[in-house]
Amino acid sequence: MMIECVPNVSEGRRPGAIAAMADAITRVGGVRLLDHSSDGSHNRSVFTFVGNAASVVEAALALVELAVASIDLRTHRGEHPRIGAVDVIPFVPLRDVTMAACVDVAREVGAAIARRFAIPVYLYEAAATAPARVRLEDVRRGGFEKLAARMATPGWAPDFGPSTPHPTAGATAVGARMPLVAYNINLASNRLDVAKAIAAAIRASSGGLPAVKAIGVALADRGIVQVSMNLTNYHETSLARVFDAVRQRAGEHHVAILESEIIGLVPEDALVGTSWEDLRLSGAAADHILERRLR
């Protein structure tokens, strides 16, 4: 059995704190930490680790314990939407495991987070208990700043834990899903209006490309803007199709693509029909392809 866990943590600027979180994962027997990356503008880190059900549960909880002790969302600022110090914890079936088993793991972890740390937990995607909670963006709408008011509205009590946010750690979304591609395209411009217009044009919820979620954000430290995306089904909408759509829309605004990047790991077949060079991807392919890291 091999389950992948890809927690997203609201800390991307303190190397010492990030390294301590990575170490907390690697100390768990039976777990392999395949990748972790951080972004200062997003103020967010993404960890990717694999193991059997028991080991990924233990590692996820070890990470939450450390993150809750070191992150205070009352002073946290970043471009990426978030509701929690540990914002989201998805479990992904990789080998000899069913989605139903990953749902069971998600619910076990969600209940344990609420019990141990008094953090409210929402279940999403395949683990969701209501249709309104399937999509992560619906669970996260309004962010930490509006979380207390959101939780007080009918239908938005958490699946586990208290009915009010944790004062410093907010809430956590825990779910089970198929592999997705976290994909960003950086534009050679500082025009946030252009990035937001492109994101609105290509995302599925606006009538754009199927299985694409997108937002436009500013990378203030670099003086550029970014179209930040999740491809929830790369078979339905490929990386190449997304890249071409962004390039076309950017060209209409007389803006060029600077580069693109994959956050975390990507299944090898997501690159079928294109290449690292065609997509102007930063970093080395071997560092981002899931199967190569597993080997």
**Residue positions annotated with a catalytic role:** 80
Q: What is the DSSP string of 48-66?
A: EEEE-HHHHHHHHHHHHHH
How far is it, in rounded angstroms, from Cα 135 to Cα 178? 13
Q: Which residues pair with 142 in a beta bridge?
A: none
Using a 10 angstrom Cβ sphere, with 0-12 exposed, 13-18 middle and 19 or more buried, the burial of residue 146 is exposed
3-state secondary structure 157-183: CCCECCCCCECCCECEEEEECCCCEEE
Q: Could you give the CA distance from residue 125 to residue 130 in angstroms, rounded to a whole number?
A: 10
Q: Count CA atoms closer than 13 A to 92's CA, side-chain side.
A: 20
Which residues are paired to 236 by β-bridges?
none
Task: Please compute Rg for the chain using Cα positions.
Answer: 18
Beta bridge partner(s), residue 215: 228
